[in-house]
Each structure stands twice: as structure tokens, then as C-alpha cells.
Amino acid sequence: MTAEFHHLPVLLSECLDGLNLRPDGTYLDCTLGGAGHSSEIFRRLDGGLLIGIDRDADAIAAATARIRTIDAPAKFVALRGNFHDAPALLRDAGIEAGLDGVLIDLGVSSHQLDVRERGFSYHDDAPLDMRMDQSQSLSAREMVNEWSEDDLTRILRDFGEEKWARQIARVICDRRKSTPIERTAQLVSIIDAAIPKKFRQGDGSHPARRTFQALRIAVNDELEPLEPALRALTGLLNPGGRLCVITFHSLEDRIVKNTFRNMADPCTCPKSFPVCVCGKKPVVRLVTRKPVTASDEELAMNPRARSAGLRIVEKL
């Protein structure tokens, strides 16, 4: 794989401001990628510690090399794994201090999109893969060729919000009877055949976008563990520490928004009660009530930031 691992960090200045960085603080980048965000956090540390987590071995290697070129009086530790398991990863690494800030960028990295062999993009013909962690066995190829029509329909409907989920799943199952579906171009052709042209999205988006999103989410199990991970990461924060999360589609954002709101106001008492008797106390305050979005200047430089939204809470 010859392409350089790079990462255009979305909402960079907004994240740096949102983390409320202290030079001697301890910070965790849960989605290290190419260290686009992490390298700028690291530059601002003086005696602090930056921890990066990523499932992708390429990301770990590239980010570590990039941060080693930065002359800053701080420490950096990279951990291979899934941020859903952050408490265990930190414990196994002997890191016991509380965190002063946590950043999660839920988007696919520029590298993963641009290296066609990873199979994330519907713009290139490549092997169907979509694994963020290439050591795992399940890939998009196995899903498309082995899962039932009902299961594929559910995935496309629930994770892609695809109105034509049943039709696409049916054509997938029909085509694979004669020829295995092993490449992204085959899948794009199937989607093209399944969605009548007169019913295509009127927003200019590619007809395969929702299907590819759904398969990627399913392959990498991105949604179900997200809420417990947000709660666990909040538990690792010191008082006053910030949790910043960048989402890229409504499914992610809904989970983050609802989890943050519940942690900020967990009371389950009926509204008619004059005082709280359930005993559930807020653990965070909402720093942002609506997602922060990219400026026009950033969108001109990086169109992929168009769907990004940043939400922030602070540990009480």
C-alpha cells in the first residue's frame, strides 16, 4: 500500500477551543487517524500527555511518525484498538490518571477513503472490504455474499436510511447466485439497477452513498457500542474535562445528542413532582446545545467537512 496516510482534520480550531486545552493536561484522541487533530493538540502541550487510539495499524504507524517530528515537551502514547474499549486499553497500558479532554472523530479518514484497496469508496473499483481493522474477519464482501435478503434489508434500512433497501437487497441476492459480488463497482452497478432513475435523490448525492454507509457501519459495528462508550469515556474525565465528538450522519448524531442530554439531565421524576426524588444527578453540562458546523472557509478547502457536526460536554 503506497499511498501516504494523511488526515484532513475537520473542525480543527473548533475542537482545539472545545477541548479547553491545558499545557500540562492529559488528552485522549480516540480516533487517531493520520494525527490531523492529534498533532495540533500535541503542539500545545508542555509537560502533558497525549494518548491516541486507532484500530488501523497504518494509522498508528503514520501518526506516531508524524508526532515524533514535532518538537514539544510532551509525551505521546499510541494504542491499537477500538475506542469503545478505551478504559481497558488505558488500564492495560498502565495509564491510570484521569483525562482532561477526549476527542472522537467518527468520520472515515481521508486515507481510508482515498486508498482504493480499502474498498470504502463508491467512486473507485476496488475489492469490497470496508474494514477499519484489517485483522478482523468480517468484511463487506462476506456480508454482501452471505447474509440473507432480510438481514441486508435491515442493515440498509437501519444504518443507511435507504428507502430502496428491500429492492437493493433483492438484486444483490439475485446477482450473487451467478457471480460472487467481490468489487465495489459490481455493488454500484447493482444499486444503479435497483433504484429507478426517476426516484434518485434530488440532492445531488451518489445513489450508492447510503448503501456504502450502511455496510461500513455494520462491518465495523459503529453504532451499538457508541452510547456505552460515551458514558465510559465521561467516567474517565477529571472534573472540568471536556468530551468532544464529531459526527457525520444523523444516526451518529442522534446517539451522541441523546446520550449527552441524558447525562446532563438524567432525572426520571414526573414533571409534576416539585423536587427530584429519583436521586439521579447530572454528570456533565452541555457546552453546545446544537452541533458546531464547518465555516465557509473550511468547506472551500475540504468539502468532506460539509456533513460534520461537533458536540461538546464538560464533566461536572
**Structural domains in the chain plus CATH codes:** 12-106+223-315 (3.40.50.150), 122-219 (1.10.150.170)
DSSP state of 108: P
d(CA 165, CA 157): 5
Q: Coil, strand, or helix at residue 173?
A: helix
Least confident segment among 37-46, 86-95, 108-117: 108-117
Compute the average pLDDT of residues 97-101. 96
**pLDDT above 50 for 315:** yes
Residue-wise pLDDT tens digits, 55-96: 988 889 999 999 999 999 999 999 999 999 999 999 999 999
d(CA 233, CA 83): 9
d(CA 32, CA 34): 6
pLDDT at 108: 79
Residue-wise pLDDT tens digits, 235-292: 999 999 999 999 999 999 999 999 999 999 999 999 899 999 999 999 999 999 999 9
Compute the average pLDDT of residues 40-67. 95
The type of residue at 239 is P
pLDDT at 117: 82
% of the chain surpassing 70 pLDDT: 95
Alpha-helix residue ranges (DSSP H) falling in the chain: 12-19, 36-43, 57-68, 86-92, 110-114, 140-146, 149-160, 165-175, 184-194, 209-219, 226-236, 250-264, 296-301
Compute the average pLDDT of residues 183-206. 86
d(CA 192, CA 38): 39
- Predicted TM-score of the model (pTM): 0.92
Compute the average pLDDT of residues 179-204. 88
